[in-house]
Amino acid sequence: MDYVKLPKTKRGEITLKKICDAAEHLFSINGFYATEIHDITQRAQVATGTFYNYFPDKSSVFLYLMDELGRKLRYAIRQARQEMPDASMIEQERISIRVFFLFVKEHFGLFRIVWQSQFVDAESFKRYYERFSAGYVREIKKAQQSGEVRDFDPVLISYALMGIHSFVTLKCFVFDESEPDEAMIDQLVDFVAHGILQKTRRGDEYEQNQ
């Protein structure tokens, strides 16, 4: 909201969009430090100086993009969840995962931008995940009250879930350069719901370790 100087004409809007698109692309491929302003402006087909009509400096685009992408993703997840308001927590989790992967597919940049942001601006990085966590915690608490979910620390679980999403994304999109299929999502949801252990003799093992 302060990272960017918003344009006042149609032309300005187009230019800003071009710069943002170019920046998102380059940051996600090469990272923050390896991306030069010159690269961005070149890809956006504008002069170097034009960049500075919209952003005070390099970090600003980066943080602006992160903010925007995070906002869009949270919105997309919220929307998708609201389409199935009566679904159980675990079904909502399936929806979240699906939307998350879909979003990462569209905006591959987000993922790498967020991870790198901790070295660009630690506060923004923290804020990003805290916002996400907060949304999760709300849902988890609700599900705990309804008796669906057990009495874990919701914050802890929210980070565990985010960790699962992030690392599966890493494995599929980054390492394998493919994308998760529905069978994979099924497994993940099942894992989150019931854990990795065989279902037999379940109570036993659980008690013995407390």
> In the complex, which residues of this chain contact DNA (CB under 7 A)?
7-12, 14-15, 35-38, 46-53, 56-58
Q: Which residues make up the interface to a copy of itself (CB under 8 A)?
A: 30-34, 88-91, 94, 112, 115-116, 118-119, 126, 129-130, 133, 140, 147-150, 152-153, 155-157, 159-160, 162-168, 170-171, 174-175, 184, 186-199, 202-203, 205-206, 209-210
Q: What are phi and psi for residue 82, nearest 5 degrees?
A: -70, -20
CA dihedral 159, 160, 165, 166 (to 10 degrees): 60
Q: Please check whether residue 38 is in contact with residue 48, taking contact to mean a CB–CB distance below 8 angstroms.
A: yes
Measured from the CB of residue 26, what is the shortest distance to a copy of itself in angstroms? Answer: 12
CA distances from 67 to 4, 74, 81, 128 (A): 11, 11, 21, 8
**In terms of CB distance, is 16 or 81 closer to a copy of itself?**
81
Binding partner of 42, given a copy of itself, DNA, none, CB within 5-8 angstroms per partner class = none
190 binds, among a copy of itself, DNA, none (CB under 5 to 8 A by kind): a copy of itself
